[in-house]
Each structure stands twice: as structure tokens, then as C-alpha cells.
């Protein structure tokens, strides 16, 4: 059994707790962004684009057994770092778990500004879209 | 006259603050400028002492408010050297002014097959209103191209001009890349073909001397908030014979002479175009912004801004992989740039962490970004209260951000 959404969030909070300076945090985030595998070009379609972003962001979801698997990409590496964390937290969970998930880690690691409307980086829409996929899959 | 920047900065309360642990560096002046204390005080003074509806009541407050409101109109007239203050229409902004012209002048004058010329440099506000009326009237929009430097192609402009062109709508200065367009020459050429010219002055009003008569401009639009004044106020200047011949825009109070259910007669200029209770407080506060600029001498302000542009251009050019977008010989203090392999959004996020406000993205000029094959740029835009030291800090933070991202 893989770890729970809450356990992964706790793990991320602990990782970010090691940094006391914003620059270190962002360097780590950038590194996460660079390490996230690029989304295959076949999934970089118009339908998979998340609207409302300054950079283009794509999200692809698939059902494997009773789990949902997310893959995503962005042109901007900081957004990609955020995406990488969202995937680590939410991917490979059931629709029910994803729908119920309260993503408190974002606030706790001091990145809640990235979820603000003004950022127009689409992370808020990204989270919504991930939950929408979960809803759609659970309805099937 | 040289400027005492230290003293000037003290006039702008917003500049004196920490953002993410650093002193704020505000380089997003093309989006909106900051406001001197006198403007902020004028706003609160109006509400604390003079608040009344204008042009209606006979009482003392109504008279004070009306006088202050009309005084702004006079100051605007002088600021752009319009022949008379009834040719100054107060609107909600540049966007409001352009829509007004599209929906009145355009509605009355465009017919099927007529042409409206705009340029590849235009802000969406100077594109979409024309598309809307063109679609309705069957008019055609043609676009004056720009070259690699971001300079309008005047030869192409000449070729596009013919008797079917009813209006040329171009900006005086490009918001995205700072190009100053040769509007004097363009207006002459347009007039020679019988076309009228609307100038979007959103980006020139605070950074160039404007004389609507010397330039022979038919319509000129700008926003108060880009001239150190409040948001929610704009200006439309028009030639008298054009404004008089145009049908009214919105209907309501203030714009009428007499109303009956059989029919309504309209008020004179400028009230014909000012339906309803206007944004009284912000209009009155615009007076203070104009006074502020006049007291400092425009020439001194522009000299300071050009010094900032020259220094920033030189400093940014030392950064490997950095490419300045928009290299016109005549520019205001706006620098758009991209860096190889780095998305503008990432730089915007990191610079904000250093307390530096720049703009990233498409700057509401998607057709221009497409022309350069870019999804967007980073844009630093300066005002006279910015300093060379701020540019040094900006360049340092930019180098550090690039290192983090590469
Ligand atoms: C060239 C230009 N035109 C029009 C506008 C629209 O101005 P406003 O939003 O104040 O109506 C802007 C504002 O960014 C601009 O830069």
C-alpha cells in the first residue's frame, strides 16, 4: 500500500522545513520542476491545456485499476515544480481520496501565494481540474 | 532644472515599503503609475469636505464639487493644449474613450467596405472596439506592420491609405516595447487621404509633451491612472466638428437638454457624452496629478526617464542570453526582454521575491507577441521617481534569478 495523501504532504512539509531562506526553497522547487519528466507530446493537446495561465500548463489523467494517475507539464519551471508536488501528493490515489483531499501543505511550505488568483499561473485551476478528473472517473 | 529624486520619492507614500523583506522597486509604471500624496489627499479631502452631486444642486457643496470637477477639465485642456475645455470628455479610461469613438463616430461614419487602419503595436483596447463596430458595419480592419525593431512600416502605411480608409487608430507609444510612433507624419498622411486619426495616448501622456493642436489630432485618449492620477478616469479629446456631428453614446441623466416621452434633445458638449453621475472624486483628484507634473517641469521628468532607459539598456545588455525586444531609435523608458531558455513568468516570480515589480506576459498585445514569435516578455517600465541604484539592484537580482533558473 502506497503512502496516503496526508503522509506525502507531511513529507513535503518536512523537506521544506529544512530551508530557512526563500532562495533555497525556490532552488529546490526549480529542481523539482526540472526533474519532472516532460509530458509526452501526444498529451500536449488543446483539451489538456489548463486555462488562465501565463505559461502553458497541460494536465493528463488516466485510470489504472482503481487509481488515477496524473501527468502534467508547464513551460515555466517554477509552475512545473509546483505541479510536481501536486502529482506526488495526488497521483496514484483513488478518485474518492483525491476528491476528499485537503491540500494544506501548500500553505504550510509557504507557497500559498502560487494559488492566488492574481498569479494567473493556473495552479488553482490545476487543482480544480485534478479534482474534476477524479469526479468524472468516479461517476463512470 | 534637475530633480531632487530623494525629495520626489518622499511624495509617493507607496514607494516607501518592504516587499518580501526588500525595499520595493516598482518597475511596472506602464501598467499603472504610483500616486503622489497630493492626489491621495485630494481624494479624501473631496469626500471629507465637498461631496455632492455635480451640475444639479444649487447648494454650496454642489457648487464646490462642480467647480472642482470643471477645473480638472480646464487643466486637462491646458495639459494637452486643446482649444477649449468643452472638447474634453471625461470617461472611465482609455478603453472607455476608444469605445465611445467606435460606438459614435464609427456607428455614424463606417459603412460596408470602409477601412479602419490599426497597427501591429496596438493594445487590445485599441483593437477589439474596432473589431466590434467593423463587424456590425461590414467595415474592414487592416494592420500597419512593424519591423524587427518594433518600428511601424511607414511605406506599408502609405500603401494602405486610400479613399476607403475612414479612420486610422494607432497608439502614440507602444505599451509593450516603448516605441514612439511618428504620429505627426502619420496624421498628415492620413489627412491627405481624408481619413480621421484616433491616437491612443495611454502610454504617452505621462512621458511626452502632448499638443493636440500642433499635431492636428482628431481624437486623443488617455487614462488618468497612467499620469499619477486615480484609476477610473479617462479623457477623450476630439475636434469640435467631429464631436458635434457624432450621435450620443450612452443615454441617461446629464446628457440631455429636455426629455419627454415624445422625444429627447441632447445636451451640448461635453455633457452630451457624459451620461449619469460621473466619477467625481477621482476626476477632481486628477487635478492634483496634473499640478504635480506641471510643478516639476515635464522636461526635467522626461530627461530623468531617458537617463534611466539608457542606463538600464546598457546594463541589461551585459547579461548573457538576454535579448531586448523593441529596439526602436525613439522609445520611452520601457524595456521588454526575454532570456534564452527561461520563461518570463519564472523571472517575474523570482524578481517579486527580491521586492521588484515588473510585468511578465503578453501585455495585452497578443498580435505583437505573435509577430515576434514570443508567448510573452518581461517588461520593466520606469517613471521619474525610479533611480539608477534601483536599476543596479534590479540587474543584480536578475542575474541571481537567471542563475537559479539555469
Ligand atoms: C497603449 C494602451 N492602450 C490602452 C490601454 C488601456 O488603458 P485602460 O485600461 O486604462 O483603459 C493601455 C493600458 O495598459 C495601454 O497601455
Index of the ligand 1 atom closest to the CA of residue B173? 1
Q: What is the largest CA-CA distance in chain B?
A: 72
Distances (CA, A) of B325 to A7, B14, B173, B378: 47, 29, 15, 9
- Per the structure, the count of domains in chain A is 1
Helix (H, G, I), strand (E, B) or coil at B403: helix
Mutate to test the pocket of ligand 1, among B124, B364, B365 (most ligand atoms within 8 A of CB): B364
Domain that holds residue A126: 5-139
The CA distance from B183 to B171, in Å, is 9
CB pairs under 8 A between A and B: 40
CB atoms within 10 A of CB B371: 17
Strand B165-171 with B115-119, pairing: parallel
User: What pLDDT does residue A56 have?
Assistant: 85
pLDDT (average), residues A86-102: 96
Note the pLDDT tens digit of each residue in A99-128. Answer: 999 999 999 998 887 766 555 556 778 888
Long-range contacts of B76-80 (CB under 8 A, 24+ apart): B76/B235, B76/B286, B76/B290, B79/B210, B79/B290, B79/B293, B79/B294, B80/B205, B80/B210, B80/B211, B80/B212, B80/B220, B80/B235, B80/B237
Distances (CA, A) of B14 to A97, B9, B25, B283, B358: 45, 9, 10, 21, 16
Cis amide leading into B270 (omega within 30): yes
Residue A25's nearest CA partner among A65, A82, A83 is A82
Distances (CA, A) of B188 to B191, B214, B392: 5, 11, 42
For residue B153 the three cell numbers come to: 512600416
Length of chain A as a residue count: 140
Give A76's contacts in chain B (Cβ within 8 Å). Answer: 343, 345-346
The CA distance from B111 to B362, in Å, is 33
Q: Is the CB of B120 under 6 A from ligand 1?
A: no
Quick one: how far is CA B131 from the chain centroid? 20
CA quadruple B180, B206, B229, B73: dihedral sign: negative
Helix (H, G, I), strand (E, B) or coil at A78: helix
Q: Is the CB of B377 under 6 A from ligand 1?
A: no
Chain A closest CA to B350's CA: distance in Å?
8
Note the pLDDT tens digit of each residue in B1-29. Answer: 678 999 999 999 999 999 999 999 999 99
Identify the residue whose cell numbers are 477645473. B71
Distances (CA, A) of B340 to A53, B322, B323: 20, 7, 8
pLDDT (average), residues B150-168: 98
Residue B381's nearest CA partner among B333, B329, B327, B344 is B333
Q: Is the CB of B95 under 6 A from ligand 1?
A: yes
Domains along chain B? 5-30+297-405 (3.90.1150.10), 40-294 (3.40.640.10)
Query: Which of A70-79, A111-120, B198-207 tops mean pLDDT?
Result: B198-207
User: What pLDDT does residue A126 have?
Assistant: 87
pLDDT mean across residues, chain B:
96
pLDDT (average), residues A53-77: 92
The CA distance from A103 to A106, in Å, is 6
Q: Do B361 and A120 touch (CB under 8 A)?
A: yes
- Look up the pTM and report it: 0.95
Residue B220's nearest CA partner among B196, B253, B244 is B196
Q: Of B18-27, B63-72, B138-147, B364-373, which range is least confident?
A: B364-373
The CA distance from B243 to A49, in Å, is 46
Mutate to test the pocket of ligand 1, among B31, B94, B364 (most ligand atoms within 8 A of CB): B94
**What order do you get walking across the sheet with B140-144 strand by strand?**
B88-91, B234-238, B219-223, B196-200, B165-171, B115-119, B140-144
Contacting A residues, span 71-130, partner chain B, CB-CB under 8 Å = 75-79, 120-121
Index of the ligand 1 atom closest to the CA of residue B93? 11
Q: Do A75 and B360 touch (CB under 8 A)?
A: no
Beta strands in B95-191 (DSSP E): 115-119, 140-144, 165-171
Distances (CA, A) of B398 to A30, A86, B306, B316, B352: 16, 28, 21, 9, 11
Q: Specify which residues A64 forms β-bridges with.
A: A67
- How many CA atoms, within 13 angstroms, populate the side-chain half-sphere of residue B106? 28
Instruction: Report the percent of chain B where pLDDT is more than 90.
Output: 93
Give A27's contacts in chain B (Cβ within 8 Å). Answer: 404
The CA distance from B263 to B258, in Å, is 8
Helix (H, G, I), strand (E, B) or coil at B240: helix
User: What pLDDT does residue A30 have?
Assistant: 96
Q: Of A131-140, B178-187, B235-244, which range is least confident?
A: A131-140
User: What pLDDT does residue A103 have?
Assistant: 92
| CATH number for A127 | 3.90.1010.10
Q: Of B130-139, B180-189, B250-259, B352-361, which range is least confident?
A: B250-259
Q: Do B345 and A121 touch (CB under 8 A)?
A: yes
Which ipTM score applies to this complex? 0.91
For residue B93 the three cell numbers come to: 479610461
CA quadruple B254, B235, B361, B29: dihedral sign: negative
Partner A contacted by B349 (CB < 8 A): yes
Q: Is the CB of B171 under 6 A from ligand 1?
A: yes
Q: Do A22 and B20 touch (CB under 8 A)?
A: yes
CA of residue A107 to ligand 1 center, whole Å: 35
> Which residue in chain A is spatially nearest to B374 when comparing CA positions?
A55
Residues 6 or more apart in contact with residue A88 via CB below 8 angstroms: A8, A12
A interface test, pick of B340, B343, B377 with most A CB neighbours within 10 Å: B343
- How many CA atoms, within 13 angstroms, populate the side-chain half-sphere of residue B2? 3
Q: Which of B20, B345, B400 sits opposite A76 (nearest CB)?
A: B345
User: What pLDDT does residue A1 have?
Assistant: 52
Q: Residue A1 class from Cβ within 10 Å (0-12 exposed, 13-18 middle, 19+ buried)?
A: exposed
Instruction: Name the residue at shortest CA distance from atom 15 of ligand 1.
Output: B202
Torsion of CA B76, B231, B182, B246, to 10 degrees: -70
CA quadruple B26, B31, B32, B33: dihedral sign: positive
Partner B contacted by A26 (CB < 8 A): yes
Q: Do B345 and A54 touch (CB under 8 A)?
A: yes
User: What pLDDT does residue A119 have?
Assistant: 54
CB atoms within 10 A of CB B115: 20
Annotate B286-331 with DSSP letters as a single string.
Answer: HHHHHHHHHHH-HHHHHHHHHHHHHHHHHHHTTSTTEEEE---SSB
Amino acid at each position: 500500500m502506497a503512502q496516503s495523501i496526508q503522509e506525502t504532504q507531511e513529507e513535503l512539509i518536512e523537506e521544506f522545513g529544512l530551508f530557512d531562506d526563500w532562495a533555497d526553497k525556490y532552488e529546490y522547487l526549480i529542481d523539482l520542476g526540472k526533474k519532472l519528466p516532460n509530458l509526452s507530446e501526444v498529451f500536449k493537446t488543446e483539451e489538456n491545456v489548463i486555462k488562465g495561465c501565463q505559461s502553458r500548463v497541460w494536465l493528463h489523467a488516466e485510470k489504472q485499476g482503481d487509481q488515477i494517475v496524473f501527468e502534467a507539464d508547464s513551460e515555466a519551471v517554477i509552475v512545473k515544480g509546483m505541479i510536481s508536488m501536486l502529482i506526488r501528493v495526488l497521483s496514484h490515489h483513488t478518485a474518492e481520496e483525491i476528491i476528499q483531499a485537503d491540500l494544506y501543505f501548500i500553505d504550510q511550505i509557504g507557497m500559498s501565494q502560487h494559488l492566488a488568483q492574481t498569479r494567473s499561473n493556473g495552479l488553482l485551476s490545476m487543482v480544480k481540474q485534478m479534482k474534476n478528473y477524479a469526479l468524472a472517473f468516479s461517476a463512470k | 532644472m534637475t530633480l531632487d529624486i530623494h525629495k520626489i520619492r518622499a511624495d509617493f507614500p507607496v514607494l516607501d515599503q518592504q516587499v518580501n523583506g526588500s525595499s520595493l522597486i516598482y518597475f511596472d509604471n506602464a501598467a499603472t503609475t504610483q500616486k503622489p500624496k497630493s492626489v491621495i489627499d485630494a481624494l479624501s479631502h473631496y469626500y471629507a469636505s465637498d461631496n455632492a452631486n455635480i451640475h444639479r444642486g444649487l447648494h454650496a457643496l454642489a457648487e464646490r464639487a462642480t467647480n472642482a470637477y470643471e477645473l480638472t477639465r480646464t487643466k486637462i485642456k491646458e495639459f494637452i493644449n486643446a482649444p477649449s475645455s468643452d472638447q474634453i470628455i471625461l470617461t472611465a479610461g482609455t478603453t472607455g474613450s476608444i469605445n465611445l469613438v467606435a460606438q459614435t463616430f464609427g456607428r455614424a461614419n463606417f459603412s460596408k467596405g470602409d477601412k479602419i487602419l490599426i497597427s501591429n503595436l496596438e493594445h487590445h483596447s485599441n483593437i477589439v472596439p474596432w473589431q466590434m463596430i467593423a463587424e456590425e458595419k461590414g467595415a474592414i480592419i487592416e494592420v500597419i506592420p512593424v519591423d524587427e525593431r518594433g518600428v511601424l512600416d511607414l511605406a506599408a502605411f502609405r500603401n494602405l491609405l486610400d479613399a476607403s480608409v475612414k479612420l486610422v487608430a494607432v497608439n502614440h507609444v507602444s505599451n509593450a516595447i516603448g516605441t514612439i510612433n511618428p504620429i505627426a507624419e502619420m496624421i498628415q498622411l492620413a489627412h491627405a487621404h481624408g481619413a480621421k486619426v484616433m491616437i491612443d495616448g495611454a502610454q504617452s501622456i505621462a512621458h511626452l509633451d502632448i499638443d493636440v493642436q500642433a499635431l492636428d489630432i482628431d481624437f486623443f485618449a488617455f487614462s488618468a491612472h497612467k499620469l499619477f492620477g486615480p484609476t477610473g478616469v479617462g479623457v477623450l479629446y476630439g475636434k469640435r466638428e467631429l464631436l458635434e456631428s457624432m450621435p450620443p453614446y450612452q443615454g441617461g441623466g446629464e446628457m440631455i437638454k429636455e426629455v419627454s416621452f415624445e422625444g429627447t434633445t441632447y445636451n451640448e458638449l461635453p455633457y452630451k457624452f457624459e451620461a449619469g453621475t460621473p466619477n467625481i472624486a477621482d476626476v477632481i483628484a486628477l487635478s492634483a496629478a496634473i499640478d504635480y507634473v506641471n510643478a516639476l517641469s515635464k522636461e526635467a521628468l522626461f530627461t530623468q526617464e531617458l537617463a534611466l532607459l539608457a542606463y538600464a539598456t546598457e546594463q541589461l545588455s551585459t547579461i548573457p542570453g538576454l535579448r531586448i525586444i523593441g529596439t526602436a531609435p525613439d522609445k520611452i523608458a520601457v524595456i521588454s526582454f526575454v532570456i534564452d531558455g527561461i520563461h518570463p513568468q519564472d523571472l517575474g516570480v523570482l524578481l517579486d521575491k527580491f521586492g521588484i515589480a515588473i510585468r511578465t506576459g503578453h501585455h495585452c498585445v497578443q498580435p505583437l507577441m505573435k509577430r515576434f514569435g514570443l508567448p510573452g516578455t518581461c517588461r520593466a517600465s520606469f517613471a521619474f521617481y525610479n533611480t539608477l541604484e534601483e536599476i543596479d539592484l534590479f540587474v543584480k537580482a536578475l542575474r541571481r534569478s537567471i542563475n537559479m533558473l539555469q
